[in-house]
Amino acid sequence: MKKFILIATGLLLTAFTVVITGEEWLLKLQTNSTLVKKQVVEDLYGGVLNTYFDGGATKQAWFKLTDAQKKDAVLAVGAFVKNFCTSDAGQKAVLAFAKSKKLEVGAGEKPDSSAERFKEEKQKSYDALMGNNIADDTRFAMLTGTITGTESLLAFKSDENEKIKIQASLDKYKKLLALYNSKSPTFKKEFARIMSDDVARRAYETEIDQYNQSVIDNANYFKELDAKEQIPQTDRLKVVLHSFLDNTEDVDYSAQLTGTGRQKRFVNQDYEAKPAMWKMLYRAGKVPGEAARAFAEQWMNALK
């Protein structure tokens, strides 16, 4: 989607009368009012401005304008954005977007904890571990790795009940190791029996842990969404205006570039770390850039 270089800020406003309307300027710059409204709503809701410069048709159309035309475009589109933000339609659009975010959230389906499912998973693991494609030295490596990991876990735990359970597992693994060392013909079967039970159990416990964490995350996220939904439109505007002004201070419109095409970089390397909005105004040019900041300051002052 093509976006007007300064539209995505949602900050540009004016009290002046212009010959060309904001909607008309948007069409001239290869975008339209619907896309701008959508972006403004997302920016107001999130409090973070979309500031990238896509470099497509919008860029080409923008740089064909004179400084006076760029300023006119900023003024006209700014008035359009301001009117939308302060209208009932604009405020309802933000609330509708907030509600839509809730529909994207879900903890997922609770894992099947039935005995039947555990039995099936265990059998799958058992069959795999009994397979002839696994060499005994591979089983040995799996076993010694498991023993090392279990010993580390035992040393880490402080709860006595947990330590007892872990020690019991460690004892089983060491018995298996003794069978391997003695070249017992029962090693392969015992290895598959013990390890398949552990593999199935760990897989299920991991699923449960992930599900429980998703429930917690889901609840916390809903609280955040509820809080965002209750923010007054004026406060939303203050956030994005303040962000814009903070991130576009002291733009050096005379900064020199080196390189060609997409490889262009600032000669002053410190400028490479500047915020995206700072760079956006630099690309837009001094006349429209300073106009944008002046309008943002005017709007911010009117909201105090």
Instruction: Report the distance separating Cα 107 and Cα 217, nearest Å.
Output: 8
- CA 143, CA 218: separation in Å to the nearest integer? 38
Give pLDDT tens digits for 170-214. Answer: 898 899 899 989 989 898 888 888 888 888 887 878 888 888 888
Q: Render the burial of 149-178: b for 16+ CB within 10 Å, e for the rest.
A: ebeeeeeeeeeeeeeeebeebbebbeebbe
167 near 154, Cβ under 8 Å?
A: yes
pTM score of the predicted model: 0.59
- How far apart CA 27 and CA 143 sit, in angstroms, is 68
Whether the per-residue pLDDT at 289 is higher than 50: the answer is yes
Whether pLDDT at 303 is above 80 = yes
Residues 46-82: tens digit of each pLDDT: 877 765 434 456 778 888 889 999 998 888 888 898 8
